[in-house]
Structure 1
Amino acid sequence: MNLALADIRHRLGRFLMTCVGLGLLMGVALSMIGIYQGVVAEALALSRSLRADLWVVESGTRGPFAESSRLPGDVREMVARLPGVAAAGAITLRTAEMQAPQGVLRVQVMGYEPGRPGGPDAIASGRALGGARFEMVADARARLPVGATVLLGGDRYRVVGTTRGLVASGGDPLVFVTLRDSQELQFKLAPPAARRAQAAGTGGGGTDTVNAVIARLAPGADPAQVAETARRWKHLGALTDAEQSDLLTRSVVNRARVQLGMFTVVLLFVSAVIIALIIYTMTMDKLREIATLKLIGASDGTIVGLVLQQALLLGAAGYAAAVLIVFATRGFFPRTVALGPAEVAVMAGVIGAICVLGSLVSIRAALRIEPQQALGG
């Protein structure tokens, strides 16, 4: 007869309620781990989708994801002629608000030249951008169906396609428009401001400016060598894809990662304390039963097994509830919850260790119970 299971059946309702409560607590900790992983996945999603081997940016800057970068539009032709470059495309990137059917929506607008590097790698529904003006491809996170019309920068754009999983490092959904539309949205001055700029002799009518040029290299080309060649022009900087990924994970989203990591550690510590208290309370509630077991000759190993098995069953049931809750609700989170088998398995091991460590105090207390207490002494 398994004493732990027999005791759980005797107090089944209480045990299940405790498991649900622990499941909610563990679910918060598990979701924090998923969001922690999701921040990194979101930061790298765009660069991976673009499949860029080289990022050419303004000299002295670290690219459009980290800080402002502006280049003349003809830099794309210069980059395309570099030895080892197979294709090059100019892009713009900015954050904007647009009027969508569901209200004001904050997005990150990316402009690119259809047919050149810079567009999304895959279209989930609809089609990619063509040559027409005022068309848009939006990520599914924006909740804009194909055919929807939005107002951006005073112009009406029609959604012709959707992507999936492409968001900015801050969590804003990405929308793609043609480079010309994006340049006018970002760089074109209003007529009064343009007239003042022209009168001052500073221009004001040109919009042939981009934030970066991305390049795909020919097979066998060395990205570091091509980047060094681009840097020979003093007004250009260049980052390889590995350098861009390192910049995104270590600089752009580093503070968010550290904050989420610290919050996850605090949650795990709180979970450990609560699990230890619950196990201790469950053990003390069985004080007379444990004393009776000792009175009839049960060994210390039997008592230890009773407490430890209940702790592990409590942790396993609570963690199962946590996994079900998180996977059933993660689609409603405002940020990506990236949880795979590795994260779930590691968290299961952590919960198991917490349950074992949390039961040590209860085991010590159970072993100190005297058999005479079964008789009321």
Structure 2
Amino acid sequence: MNLALRDVRHNLGRFLLTCLGLSLLLGVVLSMIGIYRGLVDEALTLVRAPGADLWVVESGTRGPFAESSRIPGDTRDAVARLAGVAAAGALTFQSVEAAHRGRTLRLYVVGYEPGRPGEPKRLAAGRPITRSHYEMLADRRAGLEIGERVRLGRDSYEVVGLTEGIVASGGDPVVHLTLKDSQRLQFELDPPAARRELARGARPAGLDTVNAVVARMLPGVPAVGVEAEAARWKHLGALTQEDQEGLLLKSVVEKARRQIGLFTGILLAVSAVVIALILYTLTMDKVKAIATLKLIGAPDRTIVALIVQQALAMGIIGWSAGTLLILLAKDHFPRRLLLLPEDALMLGVAVLVLCVAASGLGVRLALKVDPATALGG
């Protein structure tokens, strides 16, 4: 006879309510882990999209994602002439908001040169940009359809192609424009502002400015050597692809990682406290039953197994239900949830350890029960 199972049947309502609350807590923990994984994946998606080996930015900066970077557009030609460089392309990056169909779209605009590094590798639908002006590629997350027109700045752009899963580190969907269009959008002054600058005697800045140049190396040529050459002879900042990814995670994602880690730890501690209190309450309710077991000669290990088995059952049911809940709801989160099997398994192991530790309070109470209590009134 399994005493833990019989006791659960006797207190089925309380046990199921406890498992439900625990499953919600563990579901939130798993969603926090998934949000962090999604945040890292989204941050790296944009920096990996160009397929670059080297990022050239303004000297003294760590741009274009960690801080601002502006360099002349003809820097691309200088980088392309460096020994070991197979191809180079100029890029611009900026966040914009646009009113569309009665709502506000927040987009991350990437300007690139068609046919050069930086162009999206694959399209989920539609065609690449073929005209030099007024065409755009949009990620599916923007909710735009092929053929729609979106007004950015003073111009209207037609969506000719859709990408899949290219978003900025902040979660904003990425749209791609030609480099000339993006330069106009980012650097061209509105007519009133341009007239004001002319009245002050200031010369309007040229539009041939970019935020970064990406380069691909020839086979067998290490990017580190070209990085040093660009910094020494061209007076530019340069980062290898690995350095850019590490810098992006450290500067953009690190604080979010700490916050999510803190909340995850708090929720796991709360889960352990909930399990401990429920087991303690269940143990108090069956003090007489435990005393009777001791009186008839039941060993302590039988009583300990009763409590530990209930704790493990709570943990397994709560973890299973919480995981199922998040798998069903993950597509409805505003940020991407990336759920990895190893994360769910590690959480399951952690929950089992917490359950065994939390059962200690109930076990301590059960072992202190006097068999004579069974003879009381």
Do both proteins adopt the same fold according to a TM-score greater than 0.5, normalized to the shorter chain? Answer: yes
Partner residue, 1:251: 251
Partner residue, 1:208: 208
Q: How does 1:143-162 map to 2 (within 5 A)?
A: 143-162=143-162
Partner residue, 1:357: 357
> Is 2:132–2:180's contact at 8 Å kept on the other side of the alignment?
no
Q: How does 1:123-272 map to 2 (within 5 A)?
A: 123-198=123-198, 200=200, 202-204=202-204, 206-272=206-272
Partner residue, 1:68: 68
> Is 1:114–1:131's contact at 8 Å kept on the other side of the alignment?
no
**More displaced, 301-310 or 229-238?**
229-238
Provide the secondary structure at the position in 2 that maps to 1:274.
helix
1:161-200 CA distance string (max 9 Å, x none): 2222222112222111111111100001122332443455
Provide the secondary structure at the position in 2 that maps to 1:337.
coil
- C-alpha distance in 2 between matches for 1:155 and 1:124: 25
1:300-338 CA distance string (max 9 Å, x none): 111011100000000000011110111111112222222
- C-alpha distance in 1 between matches for 2:141 and 2:102: 13
1:65-85 CA distance string (max 9 Å, x none): 011111111111111111111
Structure 1 residue ranges, 4+ long, deviating more than 4 angstroms after superposition: 198-201
1:223-250 CA distance string (max 9 Å, x none): 1001111112454110000110110111
Provide the secondary structure at the position in 1 that maps to 2:47.
helix
Provide the secondary structure at the position in 2 that maps to 1:50.
coil
> Is 1:61–1:69's contact at 8 Å kept on the other side of the alignment?
yes
Cα offset for 1:17? Answer: 2.0
> Is 1:195–1:204's contact at 8 Å kept on the other side of the alignment?
no
Unaligned stretches of 5+ residues in structure 1: none
> 1:125 and 1:20, CA in 2 relative to 1: closer, same or farther beyond 3 A?
farther
- C-alpha distance in 2 between matches for 1:168 and 1:293: 62
1:247-295 CA distance string (max 9 Å, x none): 0111122212211211211121122111211221122222222222222
Provide the secondary structure at the position in 1 that maps to 2:232.
coil
Provide the secondary structure at the position in 2 that maps to 1:23.
helix
Cα offset for 1:296? Answer: 2.3
Cα offset for 1:157? Answer: 1.8
- C-alpha distance in 1 between matches for 2:286 and 2:341: 37
Question: What residue identity is the alignment partner of 1:28?
Answer: V
> Is 1:230–1:238's contact at 8 Å kept on the other side of the alignment?
yes
> Is 1:90–1:113's contact at 8 Å kept on the other side of the alignment?
yes
Cα offset for 1:38? Answer: 2.0
Does residue 88 of structure 1 match 2:99?
Answer: no
- C-alpha distance in 1 between matches for 2:147 and 2:287: 68
> 1:262 and 1:370, CA in 2 relative to 1: closer, same or farther beyond 3 A?
same
Cα offset for 1:118? Answer: 0.9
Does residue 35 of structure 1 match 2:29?
Answer: no
> Is 1:149–1:157's contact at 8 Å kept on the other side of the alignment?
yes
Q: Which TM-score applies when normalising by structure 2? A: 0.95
Partner residue, 2:111: 111
Does residue 47 of structure 1 match 2:47?
Answer: yes
1:320-367 CA distance string (max 9 Å, x none): 111011111111222222220111111111111110100011111111
Cα offset for 1:95? Answer: 0.8
- C-alpha distance in 1 between matches for 2:217 and 2:22: 52
- C-alpha distance in 2 between matches for 1:163 and 1:244: 23
Question: What residue identity is the alignment partner of 2:283?
Answer: T
Question: What residue identity is the alignment partner of 1:207?
Answer: L
Question: What residue identity is the alignment partner of 1:65?
Answer: F
- % identical aligned pairs: 58
1:59-106 CA distance string (max 9 Å, x none): 111011011111111111111111111111110001110122251011
Provide the secondary structure at the position in 2 that maps to 1:231.
helix
- C-alpha distance in 1 between matches for 2:141 and 2:26: 27
Provide the secondary structure at the position in 2 that maps to 1:291.
helix
Partner residue, 2:295: 295
Question: What residue identity is the alignment partner of 2:293?
Answer: L
- C-alpha distance in 1 between matches for 2:300 and 2:117: 70
- C-alpha distance in 2 between matches for 1:194 and 1:4: 79
Provide the secondary structure at the position in 1 that maps to 2:35.
helix
> Is 1:134–1:155's contact at 8 Å kept on the other side of the alignment?
yes
Cα offset for 1:132? Answer: 4.6
> Is 1:101–1:149's contact at 8 Å kept on the other side of the alignment?
no
Does residue 20 of structure 1 match 2:8?
Answer: no
Provide the secondary structure at the position in 1 that maps to 2:94.
strand
> 1:373 and 1:148, CA in 2 relative to 1: closer, same or farther beyond 3 A?
farther
Question: What residue identity is the alignment partner of 2:302?
Answer: T
1:9-30 CA distance string (max 9 Å, x none): 3333332222111100111111
- C-alpha distance in 2 between matches for 1:10 and 1:161: 61
> Is 2:30–2:347's contact at 8 Å kept on the other side of the alignment?
yes
Provide the secondary structure at the position in 2 that maps to 1:93.
strand
**More displaced, 316-325 or 251-260?**
251-260
